Amino acid sequence: MVTAGYLEHSVNVGDLKLSYQEWGNPQAQPIIMLHGFGVSGHMFDEFADRMQDRYRLIALDQRGHGDSDWAEDGNYSRDAFVEDLEGFRKELGIDRFILVGHSMGGLNAVTYTNRYPQHVRALVLVDVGPESAKEGVDNIVRFTRGPDELEFEEFVEIAHRFNQRRTLENIRERMRHRLKPTENGKYTWKFDKRFRQPESGLKIGSEAGNDDSWTLFRGVRVPTLLIRGAESDVLSQAVAERASTEMQRARLIVVPGAGHSVPGDNPDAFTDGVREFLGDLERGEFEPSAGTLPLDQLLEEHTAASRRGPSLFVLVGAGAAAILLFAGAGYMVTRSGKKRKAAREAAQRQQQHRLRGRASAVAGHLPLHTPDVEHARERAAEVVARLGVAGSEGSRRARQSLSQVDLDRARVAAQEALSVLSEGSRHAPANVRAAVERADRGRAKKGGSSAFAVTRGAGIATFHTVARLLGKKREPVPAPQHRIARWRN
């Protein structure tokens, strides 16, 4: 049957008779179109009429919609829709085609493309994404669950209030394909009446969550055009942009003056967008929307890099950096060691000077006899000798302490350098700097403690000697208790 430039056909797929409309040259590149919930393939009439000069366009009435059979068992699952499309393709003898899907039909198209990618040359998704705005979905449900039977014009008025972007004439034409007469002279919807009955328990599509939906969209690897109506209350701009970015090869366009039903709200702009996309595809000039790599590709590249481990270049670089850091640290340690040594020697000279001054002051206030003075001179000579020995011994013990600290620090630094290089290059600079800082702090603390112990021991010995010389009793000075700082490898 020929009607207004297209053909009405039907084909049996499984236990169902599926109806479809066809435009254009049967030998041209085929485009199969899937409508949304509650409507039929005729929602693409304006688009198909504009594209039939170059393509073969086929609009399928999916099960339970339009003139196709209802599923008696109530199976309107996503899998059922997808397998209907595959059976439909086989019946028509089509190998590869361009797939267009709106809303519910878009979700069916995404699932089909994931399952049968070898048959899809390109994908056009119309106002559909991994997530839908609840407000828009609720509006559609309220519209389709309105009165079951009305006069034809009453349905037209309801549809016009629902979408005032269309003229009454346009809506009347669309409603002729969506309604059928009843025995009492009124009209009702063509789609399965159980869709309008909440108590029927019918489940349409899939119960998959948003995460699974995003995974499906990311799994599409064919060139994809995502079209959003600028005034849509179903697909938000944020979701559309994210979907076009995370999909493998996707381009996003926004059609002005269009709501959820983009092909009929602004058919000229919709057609221009699809025509440009298909033209770029045929010329090999298709470019996806600018964005980051898809999430799964990023994860794959990260996993592969982790398995490869650090490259030889990175390890060599890390080793060179470690050598430079240790060389710089050694220079700083040597320089600071010389400064501390000079400071210790100056402090020892000042301490000896103060001790001699105190001893002389005390002796000057005591009534000593001449023999006592001679005896004091002898004892003073012994003190000077002992101080010399103590100073020499202190210097020797200080040098040993510093040498031991330097040796311990070198061991620890070497162990930590090996650890850094074995763990990879990512954290090498930070770990090396931390190791040097810990070693330097520990060395300074230990070396300072040893030098302080030597100096204090010499001072205590001097005071004991002077006390015995003067014949006065002194309270014993407790021996210093040293806290031992241990290196932790």
Q: What is the pLDDT of residues 376-386, one digit of tens each?
A: 455 544 544 45
Whole-model pTM: value is: 0.61
Tens digits of residue pLDDT in 421-458: 444 444 444 543 454 455 444 443 444 444 344 334 54
> When comparing pLDDT for 148 and 52, which is higher?
52
Find the mean pLDDT for residues 83-104. 98
The whole-number pLDDT of residue 67 equals 97
pLDDT at 52 exceeding the cut of 90 = yes
Rounded to an integer, the average pLDDT of 105-130 is 98
Confidence class of residue 343 from pLDDT cuts 50, 70 and 90?
low
Q: What is the pLDDT of residues 347-396, one digit of tens each?
A: 566 555 554 554 444 444 444 444 444 554 555 445 444 544 444 454 45
Q: How far apart are CA 83 and CA 464, in angstroms?
A: 104
* Alpha-carbon separation of residue 409 from 219, 279, 379, 412, 487 (angstroms): 55, 70, 44, 5, 9
Mean pLDDT of the chain: 75
Domain-wise residue ranges, the chain? 2-301, 313-470
pLDDT at position 395 is 47
Q: Give the pair of three-digit tokens for residue 487.
A: 């290196």
Start-to-end CA distance of the chain, whole Å, equals: 89
CA separation for the pair 13, 86 (Å, rounded) = 9
| Contact (Cβ atoms closer than 8 angstroms) between residue 59 and residue 21 | yes
Question: Given pLDDT bands bounded at 50, 70 and 90, which one contains residue 145?
Answer: confident
Residue 409: the pLDDT is 54
For 444, phi then psi, to 5°, come to -65, -40
CA angle at 277 for the pair 61 and 26, rounded to the nearest 5°: 45
pLDDT digits (tens, 9 = 90+) for 246-291: 999 999 999 999 999 999 999 999 999 999 999 999 999 888 765 4
Taking alpha carbons only, the member of 222, 190, 169, 229 closest to residue 62 is: 190
* Percent of the chain surpassing pLDDT 90: 50
CATH for 2-301 is 3.40.50.1820
